[in-house]
Structure 1
Amino acid sequence: MSIDAKGFALLLSLVLSSTLPAAATSAERPDAEYAVAQREKLQSARMAIAQGDRASLARIRGELAGYPLLPYLDYWELSKKLSRLPYGEIDSFLEQYRDTAIGDWMRVKVLRELGSRQRFRAYLKYYDAGTIRRTSLRCYYADALARHGDKTEAYRLVEDLWLVGHSQAEECDPLFARWIRDGGLTDELAWRRHMLALEAGNLDLADYIAGKMSGEQASLAALARSVHRDPGQLLNHQRFLRSSPHYRKIVLHGLGRLARRSAEDALTAWRHYDAGYLFEENEREALLREIALQFARQDNLDGLRVLVQQSENFSDERTIEWLARQALRELDWAQVEFWINRLPESARNHERWLYWRARVLEEQYGDARQQEAAYLYRRAAQERSYYGFLAADTLGQNYSFVDRPAPINAKAVEEMSARPAMQRARELQAIGELYHARREWNYATRGMDHQQLLTAGKVASSWGWYHKSIRSVLAADYLDDLELRFPLAFADIVTDASRRMGQQTALDPYLIYAVARQESHFSHDAKSGAGALGLMQLLPSTARATARRAGVQLRRNWDLLSPSTNIALGSFYLSTLLNRFDNNRILAAAAYNAGPTRVAQWLKETRQQLPYDVWIETIPYHETRKYVQNVLAYSVIYAYRSGTNLPLLRENEATTRL
């Protein structure tokens, strides 16, 4: 997130007020006051750059000697004059800040400027293939190479840029036009992109590419588009059984389209084409997975069973798990056992299916196979997870937390935190330049080994940058340091919210922690693709409605990035869901993710016939199913982190049929 000068002052005051201790010691106070003064000087320097006040800039620059963000003054100053292309200053900057985030960002800015002005000889000088990923800049490079370098290499690069199913950046248009004029576009390359466009559902692009074909290739492309629009044509099998790889491609694409209309018709047609074509094994598996998925979406369970049972080598794990869950929903334990046994061995030995294998044995055979069921429960209970906790509860044993702090020494943490890139990331975070802060951090941690990532995670945790701490230990694949993975973030705010909201409902701090951990990894500036904001990922519309009921002031959406505001509103909304669903955290968590209306509908469909574990396992949305399981498990872990023993389920949750 980048902010203007006016927004900066407001956010700076918010940041400082929320990050400084309530009662700093005399030793801490001067350091805090010095940091505030330096940040204010940086803002003044930035305004001097904007106003072209060189004298003030020079004076302030001298006062900022040693300040971590001093390089950003050079960055902002050069960015302002970049349109004049001061090559000497550019070269000096790129040399001085080689292998830094701002060095790479400046290179990108320079390339954009040069490309847009067609300064292609200079472009070749500044382009770095190892760091540039943007398609527009890659197109500029290939164009520059074609004009002033190795045209053969340039056109090899063009083919990679060409073969995509979407329209490329407009910066690529001149390059493609030159390549086509020079005869680079063959009918085969046109055909391949045409089919990629169809697979992506981009008919306009497919029509455009077809206009560049000729002869038989153009006729085949027209047939492919016709089948895309009306895949029912494939039921006329004789028309499409031709000894041609192009026809095979059309058939595969059309069958996938047909499956979306009628999986049953697609399966019928597939049997004819599978006998007549030599399909690759990966093509066969991909199409059968698509037909299976569409059977599921069309609620045609019988058709899906037929597909799986008649396809000898079909072993798609996702499909078989779906069938097992459908059998669970019907409480058909024999069918549950049948489908679990069809899963690959690795899946059967995951704690999820260890638990359900044990449940099947209990339901099917009772005491006769109790020892075998107990053995499976014990294996599952070794895991720190939702299923592990379920299994432990069934056995009446303690949970397995496996809490092992990462091997990190204090000196390594001190050295890591002192790295210039780390200091820049921290200071950018402090002044509200969150976008640049994340980029500095990502740049600083790229290429780190396992131990360095753990140390970086410890640094982030000490700074209160919890989402970076969590992601660092995940990237290091060290999952047993529960302090780093499950930080007690914003503890005072969470505790206060639970005290106020929990008076009417079963809301406790562990549930708040669990929801925030699941929603955002404690990233207070998180924003989802749907527009949800902040720690507990509230949609602005939901937040405004909640604010009115909670008596919380919410002037603008930006306020949701404040941890205190976000947690207050998120906790209040969560408490209303608990109230609506009789203090059942299973239902409240599901409603927080999928909405209370959907949860009410799911309850109506199941008619309170299902045990809680079956209901959770058969939640229609994969995301919501995983969400509920994580929130319940995380609540247990957060209670443990707080020195409290909390069962996975409360009595009302474990005994209520859903």
Structure 2
Amino acid sequence: MTIIPTRHNSLLAKPKLLLWRFLIIILSLSPEASAQVISNTQRVQQRLLYIEAIQATENNDTINFQRLYQQLAGYPLRPYLEYHQLLKNFGTIDDADVGLFLRANTGSLIAERLQYLWLRHKVQLQDWPGFIKHDDETRFQSTDMQCARLLAHSGNNVIAPNLHNSVRQLWAQNGTLHEQCLILFSNALQQAIIADDDIWARYLSLFKSNTDNANTLYFYLNPKDQHLANQLLKARSSPEQASTIYSGLSLNENLLVSAYAIKKLAELSPPQAMLLLPETKLTKQAYEKSAYYIAWQITLESPGDAYQWLKTIDTEFQHPALTEFKITLALTNNHWQEISSLIEQLPHTLQMSPRWQYWSIRAQEKSSPSESARWQKHYQALAQQRNYYGFLAAARSKTPPQFNDQSQPLTPQITHTNGIFQQNASLRRAIELYHFGATKLARREWQHGIASLNPSQQRMVAVAAHHNQLHHQSVQTIIQAQLWDHLNLRFPTAYRYFVKVASESTQIHPSWLFAIIRQESQFDPGHRSSVGEIGLMQLQIKHGQSHERSKTLLDPRINIQLGARYFKQLLDRFNNNYSLACAAYEAGPDIIESWVEKNRQITDLDQWIESIPYQQVRHYVQNTLVFNAIYRYLLGQPSMILADHQRFPASESSDFLTSSPYLSLPGKRRPQE
């Protein structure tokens, strides 16, 4: 865990005066608290002393450290100095040292972190009485802590009967096994607490992601299951034999193996999986899941074949997810008259969701176009909602979308906000950590701080963050408060000048750029995704590019300009169709182009979006369209979720498949359902 920045020169070179102004505004403008407020000079001096204290710690200068530590009384980050000292001397401190720190910092993020590390230390020492003394069952629920807790309560490695169910529940969880879990499970296996079926289930679960981890359980399998495991290993290591092996295993009496094998067969040969599925002995639930997966694999090549095959599935199988998938396939293939009856098969709560209300009306519209007055009335009712389908209904009924905006003036309530910060040490620490560039830790402190506030207080803090250009924190705080109708805080127009310049150079309306930024990063300029995308518009660094290039792309001006340029190239490639360009921005243009090519029978854009087989891409497009409509509203522009130029009749489908060079900056990953 990063405790403090270690590059002291960089800390001194670029002080973040904006964040200092944040603290001054919050703490200095309240006459009631003037006696408690420190001066600008005092805060700067404290920060310099803090840096000196860090250097003294790293230089093992105990005397100087103690002097500086005393001088920093009242400074928000002072506990981090003591924490850093405790970590540095972790091998020599005792329960009394830790207990003193925990009591002095009760309820803080840093105390929770030290307590967790101390518990792990007790596990390493196998000091189980000490572990129990410092444990907090309500706070530490990670798998490794649960395993350690069960070990601590198991004398002489013998698991008491009253703990057996807890061990079995942990066994059923997926994920990486920590050392204490390996010890616990080894004891459980030796004491026959885990049944053969449960051993096999975990083996199979591990096998799906990591063969080596699965093999640690191989010798605990019974001989029959070992034979099945050998078959699975052979299929994985011999691709040329995989289809044959999976075909045989899909009919195995072991239902877990059967379900796994039919899924793998669907990936290799969907037609073969279609033929074998009825011959399996799968449970109803497993059968439905397998049918869904097979149909999804077929859909990637031929949605029409997938729909016709699903219609042959026994009508007793009525799982809502499978029925919903049938509806989307019916939409994809223009089977409008069948959609209404399929929607009626859904549970009532799903039927009344905006999604299926909209498509029920659309099906009526397509099936009975002469009854326009009836379906227009239903559209208008649905159009009262502020969501994707409500906005679509507004577009269909040619009525203005309803934003239900309850935004309040973004005027800081200085007196009240001052009191919140005075009483909330986590928020004060967050401000200081932002100043020093310890962004990740600052965010954790911020989230920890706002969690204890009520919605009214959270809104005041969000407004303060907004005024000081901490837009990501403002958005996160208003989401935490669940104040969904406060649109001016949920959808900031930050970096407006950079967006304006990028908009003018690419001829893309600012609302689209704001919408993409809001969807991609929630206005966090330093955001880095797990797949390497960085910055406001989540641009991806190509393999081998330098660290300096990465830092350049974190610059909001450059990130927005390059992101807008890439989006413009996608618009050119997809004939200025913003919805297709959004889908390509998320999934990559090739996969979207291929999907459009295979679905030329689709006549309307809302129909095409609904038929996207990749859930994350579908939600991305829907979110971005909604965000764009909201930003147009906030910018004082007419809002319509699907403009006329975005529709694409089948006769024009080839127009947006033009090929043109494009900048492969985001290079989005292939999505997974």
TM-score (ref. length: structure 2):
0.80
- For the residue of structure 2 that corresponds to 1:541, the secondary structure is coil
Report the Cα distance in structure 2 between the residues aligned to 1:74 and 1:477, rounded to whole angstroms.
Answer: 36
How much does 1:539 deviate?
A: 0.9
Query: CA separation of 1:63/1:508 partners in 2, compared to 1, >3 Å: closer, same or farther?
Result: farther
- CA distance in 2: counterparts of 1:429 and 1:595, whole angstroms: 34
| 1:209 corresponds to 2:198 | no
Residue 478 of structure 1, CA deviation: 3.3
Q: In 2 relative to 1, CA 160–467 (structure 1 residues): closer, same or farther, beyond 3 Å?
A: same
Please report how far the alpha carbon of residue 169 of structure 1 lies from its aligned counterpart in structure 2 after TM superposition: 1.7
Partner in structure 1 of residue 429 of structure 2: 424
Q: Distance in 1 between matches of 2:648 and 2:255?
A: 55
Which secondary structure does the structure 2 equivalent of 1:89 belong to? helix
Match of 1:82 in 2: 90
Contact 2:433 2:441 in 1 (8 A): yes
Shift of 1:438: 2.4
Q: Which moved more, 1:291-300 or 1:147-156?
A: 147-156
CA distance in 2, matches of 1:434, 1:314: 50
Range with bigger deviation, 532-541 or 302-311: 302-311
> What displacement does 1:382 show?
0.9
The letter of the residue matching 2:144 is: S
Q: For residues 115-157 of structure 1, give each alpha carbon's deviation from its aligned partner in whole angstroms, at most 9, with x where no partner exists.
A: 3344444333323222223433444444343357985266665
Query: 2:65 aligns to what SS in structure 1?
Result: helix
Matched, 1:594 2:603: no
* Separation in 2, partners of 1:3, 1:421: 15
Contact 1:166 1:202 in 2 (8 A): no
Partner Cα distance (1:238, 1:292) in 2 = 17
- Change in Cα spacing, 1:134 to 1:145, as seen in structure 2 (3 Å) is same
Mapping for residues 184-223 of structure 1, pairs under 5 Å: 184=193, 187=196, 189-198=198-207, 200-213=208-221, 217-223=222-228
Is this contact kept in 2: 1:494–1:567, CA < 8 A? no
The alpha-carbon deviation at position 237 of structure 1 amounts to: 11
**2:521 alignment partner in structure 1:** 520
Comparing 317-326 with 369-378, greater Cα deviation is found at 317-326
Whether 2:312 is the aligned partner of 1:312: answer no
Equivalent residue for 1:483? 488
Is the alpha carbon distance of 1:17 and 1:580 closer, same or farther for their aligned partners in structure 2, counting shifts above 3 Å?
A: farther
Q: Which digits, 9 at most, give the CA deviation of each residue in 1:410-455, with x for residues without a partner?
A: 4654433331122222322232222222222333344666556555
Q: How far apart, in 2, do the equivalents of 1:78 and 1:613 lie? A: 59
**Correspondence for 1:401 among 400, 403, 413:** 403
Alignment of 1:413-492 (within 5 A): 413-418=417-422, 419-446=424-451, 454=459, 457-458=462-463, 460-488=465-493, 490=494
> Which residue identity does 2:563 align to in structure 1?
G
Query: 1:550 aligns to what?
Result: none
Mapped to 1, the partners of 2:627 and 2:15 lie a distance apart of 28
Residue 311 of structure 1 deviates from its aligned partner by: 2.2
Distance 1:544 1:645 in 2: 42
Aligned to 1:271: 278
Report if aligned partners of 2:303, 2:333 keep a CA contact under 8 Å in 1. no
SS in 1 for 2:57: helix
Q: TM-score, normalised by structure 1?
A: 0.82
Letter in 2 for 1:400: Q
Q: Which secondary structure state, in structure 2, belongs to the residue aligned with residue 555 of structure 1?
A: helix
Cross-structure match for 1:613: 606
Q: Which residue of 2 aligns with 1:43?
A: 51
Q: Select which of 329, 350, 353 maps to 1:350.
A: 353
1:263–1:294: 8 Å Cα contact kept in structure 2?
yes
In structure 2, the partner of 1:377 is: 379
Offset of 1:35 from its aligned partner? Answer: 4.1
- Counterpart amino acid of 1:94? L
Task: Give the letter aligned to residue 54 of structure 1.
Answer: T
Inter-CA distance 445–255: structure 2 relative to 1 (3 Å threshold): same
Q: Does 1:170 pair with 2:171?
A: no
Q: 1:512 to 1:608 in 2, by over 3 A?
A: farther
Tell me the SS of whatever aligns to 1:84: coil
1:58 aligns to what?
66
Task: Render the CA deviation track for 1:445-496: whole Å, top value 9, x for unaligned.
Answer: 44666556555545544554333433344344432111222122x2xx3333
Cα distance in structure 1, aligned partners of 2:320 and 2:476:
28
Taking the aligned partners of 1:187 and 1:359, their CA distance within structure 2 comes to 52
Q: Judge conservation of contact 1:382–1:400 (CA < 8 Å) in 2.
A: yes
Q: CA deviation at 1:336?
A: 4.7
Deviation digits for residues 621-645 of structure 1, max 9, x if unmatched?
A: 3322322232222122112223333
CA distance in 1, matches of 2:291, 2:389: 30
> Structure 1 388/144 Cα, relative in aligned 2: closer, same or farther at 3 Å?
closer
Partner of 1:631: 624
Poorly superposed stretches of 4+, deviation over 6 Å: 233-239, 406-409, 542-545
Say whether the 8 Å CA contact 2:307–2:330 is kept in structure 1.
no
> Residues of 2 paired with 1:333 and 1:19: CA distance?
57
Larger RCO (CA under 8 A, 6+ residues apart): 2
Secondary structure of the corresponding residue to residue 137 of structure 2: coil
Structure 1 residue 364 and structure 2 residue 367: aligned?
yes
1:655 offset after TM fit, Å? Answer: 7.0
Distance 1:282 1:166, change over 3 A: same
Equivalence for 1:133 = 141
Q: Distance in 2 between matches of 1:112 and 1:237?
A: 43
Alpha-carbon spacing, 1:327–1:542, altered in 2? closer, same or farther (3 Å):
farther
Q: Distance in 1 between matches of 2:272 and 2:204?
A: 23
| Amino acid in structure 1 at the alignment position of 2:368 | Y
CA separation of 1:301/1:204 partners in 2, compared to 1, >3 Å: closer, same or farther? farther
Gaps of 5+ in 1: 242-246, 546-553
Q: Structure 2 vs 1, CA of residues 3 and 570 (structure 1 numbering), >3 Å: closer, same or farther?
A: farther
Taking the aligned partners of 2:523 and 2:267, their CA distance within structure 1 comes to 39
The whole-number CA distance in structure 1 between the counterparts of 2:166 and 2:336 is 56
Going from structure 1 to structure 2, the CA distance change for 1:33 and 1:577 (only over 3 Å counts) comes to farther
Q: Partner of 1:130: helix, strand, or coil?
A: coil
Task: Give 1:645's aligned residue.
Answer: 638
| Secondary structure, aligned partner of 2:16 | helix
Q: CA deviation at 1:51?
A: 1.2
Alignment of 1:95-244 (within 5 A): 95-147=103-155, 151-152=159-160, 157-165=166-174, 168-180=177-189, 184=193, 187=196, 189-198=198-207, 200-213=208-221, 217-223=222-228, 226=231, 229=235
Report the Cα distance in structure 1 between the residues aligned to 2:382 and 2:569, rounded to whole angstroms.
Answer: 34
SS at match of 1:107: helix
Structure 2 counterpart SS, 1:211: helix
CA drift at 1:303? 5.1
Aligned position for 2:530: 529
**Contact between 1:506 and 1:583, CA under 8 Å: does it hold in 2?**
no
1:47 to 1:648, Cα distance in 2 relative to 1, 3 A: same
Q: CA RMSD in A?
A: 4.1
Counterpart amino acid of residue 623 in structure 1: Q
